[in-house]
Amino acid sequence: MVLPHKLILASGSPRRLELLRQAGIEPDHLMPTDVDETPRRAEHPRTLARRLSREKADAARKALKGDPQWPNRFILSADTVVAIGRRVLDKTELVNEASSALYRLSGRTHRVYTGICLVTPNDGLRQRVVETRVRFKRLSRMEVESYLASGEWRNKAGGYAIQGLAGTFIAKLVGSYSNVVGLPLLETVNLLTGEGYDVHAGWLAPERSAAQ
């Protein structure tokens, strides 16, 4: 008897969960992991995204080691980094941090890197890093202050969420939109499919699934 594959999302991000559901994928378990996200000295933002996604996957794998409840599981993790050149813009917790980030982004092009890491049931490991270039229009003081008042900047890399009000700031985007939100769907689905996970199982209409 072949056991169905299970998917564990090693993330507490509601945006990543929403994106997976958009792709018709419902994780069997959510497992947020706690890793130190501090960049290493002279570490490139792309390398940082790749390393952190790997560390999150490794932390989940270690926590599940020997657990008989998950004998045939995939572990999916991701980490998103926003950067101007080699300068990483951290998640903003304070309003002055968000204000500083927005003024840095104003009128400039920045890059968003998301590292995705997949641990397969046989403990194989696959990784990808996806890059998107985003250009902000030049922001007025009123726009910055109004956005800060909205509170959408809280705990967001670079101080903004593209799927919210900040979508009105985007003058140009080259690459994956879902990557900027937090999980590049095309690459994630391709990674899962390539390793034998049935991403289309959840695409069946409820009535059709019941009939079968």
Q: Is 95 helix (H, G, I), strand (E, B) or coil?
A: helix
Is 90 noted as a catalytic residue in this protein?
Answer: no
Which of 28, 34, 79, 198 is an active site residue? 79
End-to-end Cα separation, the chain, in angstroms: 19
Q: Which residues fall within 8 angstroms of residue 97, CB to CB, at 6 or more apart?
A: 90, 159
Torsion of CA 78, 149, 174, 133, to 10 degrees: -70
Please name the helix (run of DSSP H) or strand (run of DSSP E) that holds residue 170, with its range, or none: strand 170-174
Overall residue count recorded for the chain in this entry: 212
Q: Cα(29)–Cα(6) distance, rounded to whole angstroms? A: 8
Q: Cα(9)–Cα(2) distance, rounded to whole angstroms? A: 22
Q: Is 208 helix (H, G, I), strand (E, B) or coil?
A: helix
Residues with catalytic annotation? Answer: 79
